Amino acid sequence: MHPILLSLGSFKIYTYGFFVALAFMTTIFYLSYSMKSSKKKLISYDELYSLFMYMVIFAIIGARSFFVFINLKDFFLNPLDIFKIWKGGLVYYGGFIGAVVFMLVYAKKKNIIIFKLGDFFAPALALGHAIGRIGCFFAGCCYGKASDLPWAVTFTNKYSLAVREVRLHPTQLYEFIVNFLLFMFLHFYSKKNSKTSGMSLVIYLISYTLARFIIEFFRDDYRGMKCFGFSISQIISVFLFIIGVLIIWKKKLYMKSLKMRD
């Protein structure tokens, strides 16, 4: 579509980088809004901004590292390209894992229940991801397979990362729709079920991983080696989906034990 948002001589603003930055800004604004509307605050505003910035740093490192690992041959001859993230090349699951690892360390250090912290961040995570996928669409990364469906798209820009002049599944927009709907649901669910620790996070895990597993079948960009015909992202999706199911199962067992005590 339009990989370069603005070009003034040698100065360029890439659309992908713009939407990634917009995603981070929108996420922190939403989290601040959630803090204001919350009666009981898990952390202070200063702690929120500090935690968010560190999560962003670890998310970018994780997302970029995952992408570089998958495309190691391309970066071997041009190692400085590793740092050019504004041109595209962030793998969501790498960023998700990086951010979660830091969140776990932070929660343990501050003695905060990780599920409550996860519930707080879940809607914002879906919102930020949705906005980021718009950047993917403009850049042409994460493109889909050839399609004759009415909503198939054709990339023509010479700087696009997608296959050009071929009608393709708009897989980036599929993920945008999934994440935005998930954000809307979690936004209202979290307000009505603020006392149910862990459920918003679990709903996000199960819903997104299931959707991602399906959308992967329609993607045609290189995503590394496959295992039994499944991409790395699909394998991670299955793993995270199982974690979500196990959390629900454990919570049900816990609630059952409380009822038996009563």
93-108 pLDDT per residue, tens: 888 899 989 988 888 8
The total number of residues written for the chain in this structure: 262
Q: Is the pLDDT of residue 253 over 80?
A: no
CA distance 76 to 204: 36
CB 61 within 8 A of CB 97: no
pLDDT digits (tens, 9 = 90+) for 210-239: 999 999 999 998 877 788 889 989 999 999
Q: Is the pLDDT of residue 254 over 60?
A: no
Most confident of 105-109, 111-115, 195-199, 205-209: 205-209
**CA 150 to mean position of chain CA atoms:** 27
Token pair 């700087």 is found at 159
Give the residue ranges of DSSP H helices in 111-157. 114-139
Paired sense of beta strands 4-8 and 11-14, if any:
antiparallel
Of all residues in the chain, the percent with pLDDT exceeding 90 is 40
CA distance 240 to 236: 6
Q: Name the DSSP letter for residue 156.
A: -
Give pLDDT, residue 195. 60
Secondary structure of residue 255 in the 3-state scheme: helix
Phi, psi of 220, rounded to the nearest 5 degrees: -130, 5
Gyration radius of the chain's alpha carbons: 20
CA distance 109 to 67: 30
Give pLDDT, residue 4. 84
CA angle 71, 74, 79 (to 5 degrees): 105
Give pLDDT, residue 114. 82
Domain ranges within the chain, ordered by starting residue: 4-261
Nearest-CA neighbor of 168 among 193, 140, 192? 140
- Residues contacting 91, CB < 8 A, separation 6+: 63, 64, 66, 67, 70, 233
Token pair 């299931």 is found at 210
Q: Is the pLDDT of residue 134 over 90?
A: yes
pLDDT, mean of residues 38-58: 85
Give pLDDT, residue 66. 83
